Structure 1
Amino acid sequence: MDMKKVVADNKGFLVFMLGMVLVRSAVADYYSVPSSSMYPTLLEGDRVICDRIAYDFKLPFTDVIVKHLDDPQRGDIVTFSSPEDGTRLVKRLVAIPGDVVEMRDEHLYINGQAANYEPISVANADHLTPQREFSGEQRVYKERLGSLDHHIIVMPERFALRTFAPVKVPDGQYMMLGDNRDNSKDSRYIGLVKRELITGQVKRLMFSLNGDHYYLPRFERFGSKV
């Protein structure tokens, strides 16, 4: 096979594919949500759009930051590489450099201020941890503390790390928690996340398929904000 001829005959397609790879590496990407750790905000089967230049411009295929563009904020949903094993994760950023953060019996405190928790009724059971994964009691609350204003799930019957002593977040690092608090492997277990490991911000869904119901589309989630 004449590789030069193959390349010449497919030059346009190869340039297009290279451009797509570069865009996904440096500008924007999309990920499938594989677990229930961010319920009720992100569901299994959601395909999220990740803005890779929300905070930093990096050299393609690396964690090398070329230029800071903006700073991550409390409440942002971000994608990052786990400091434990490099696995790609998506969680909510709850504490920024300089914050003193602690948790007391599932209640979050930042800089000495306690979050407020308002019980919420969930009309759609699809937004609760799937029964195949957990069949016990699930409680949904609206967690409010400054720019943190979102729904979380707690599961009193499940073993989880619900209390930890005050931690001051060092410069260049961030604390991540899952919205499904008792079913998330987050900074309580894998440690704080360095800025260079953050790969982007999630603001919107692309589409969503319900794997527990024959992968039927969740049309109400197509293109929705998170």
Structure 2
Amino acid sequence: MMKHWICKAWKENKSFLIFIALMLIFRSAVADWNEVPTGSMKPTILEGDRILVNKMAYDIRVPFTHISLFQRSNPIRGDIVVFDSKASGKKLVKRIVGVPGDIVELKNNVLIINGEQLSYELVTSNDTAIDKMEDLLGVEHFIRVSKHGSPLSSFRSDVIPSGYYFALGDNRDNSADSRVIGLVPRQEIVGRSRHVVLSFNYENYYIPRKDRFLQKL
């Protein structure tokens, strides 16, 4: 009886089921979108953003796994990556600031990479936070720091070993990143993001933010 029902359901919904299967495979191995629920990447990424994730940026993988069939490239400094963090037990979105062989240091929210201090340009400031433009050795992007600093404002890494990356949130004093969870293993990185697909304002009845539609990161 059950077998008959399954066969009938398959015949009646074959096209739809194939479509669903292909869509799941596509989202698993080709491209997907991820909701960003926290402000750890502010001001670059806001709570409520749905970011497009290119899952073929670095690897061609077996769908629904982390098994790489072919490595296309490796993350570089400045890339915004999505990774399945075993250390935190969830999917995270951060920016790569250190690659294998680098020594990353942070002094009062000023990054020093391999002994070279990065340059910063003030953008905006209020009573609690400062937004700056950070020049990450040729990759310019916004960061946010607290005026009062935090325990995360300073650190120093050892030489980053092969197969690992140092990732930070752009909201430097409010991000559980490599300063908290440690280095990011290469195999945990599932893709790269460069655009917002759409965004919902959680503080205003989830109304879509028109200015965030297809916004480049």
Q: TM-score over 0.5 for the alignment? A: yes
Q: Does 1:195 align with 2:198?
A: no
Unaligned runs of 5+ in 2: none
Aligned pairs, number = 214
Q: Distance in 1 between matches of 2:157 and 2:41?
A: 24
Could you say which residue in structure 2 is the equivalent of 1:159? 150
Which residue number corresponds to residue 61 of structure 1? 64
Number of the residue aligned with 2:13: 10
1:196 shift after superposition: 0.8
| Match of residue 219 from structure 1 | 210
Give 3-state SS (helix, strand or coil) of 2:97's partner. strand
Note the aligned Cα RMSD (angstroms).
1.5
Question: Is contact 1:102–1:167 with CA below 8 Å preserved after alignment?
Answer: no
Partners of 2:13 and 2:59 in 1: CA distance? 34
8 Å Cα contact 1:94/1:148 also seen in 2: no
Pair 1:93-2:96 in alignment? yes
**TM-score under structure 1 normalisation?**
0.90
SS at match of 2:64: coil
- 1:119 matched to 2:110? The reply is no
Deviation at 1:208, TM superposition (A): 0.8
Q: What is the percentage of aligned positions where both structures have the same residue?
A: 43
For residue 76 of structure 2, the aligned residue among 68, 73, 76 is: 73
Aligned AA for 1:169? Answer: I
Q: Runs of 4 or more off by more than 6 Å in structure 1?
A: none
8 Å contact from structure 1 (residues 114, 145) kept in 2: no
Match of 2:32 among 29, 34, 54: 29
Q: Distance in 1 between matches of 2:24 and 2:30?
A: 10
* Matched position secondary structure for 2:216: coil
Instruction: Return the offset for 1:6.
Output: 0.7
Give unmatched runs, 5+ long, in structure 1.
123-127, 129-135
2:22 corresponding residue in structure 1: 19
**Where do 1:125-204 residues align within 5 Å?**
137-157=128-148, 159-204=150-195
TM-score where L is the length of structure 2: 0.94
Instruction: Note the C-alpha offset of 1:161.
Output: 1.4
| Cα contact 2:200–2:206 (8 A) shared by 1 | yes
CA distance in 1, matches of 2:201, 2:37: 12
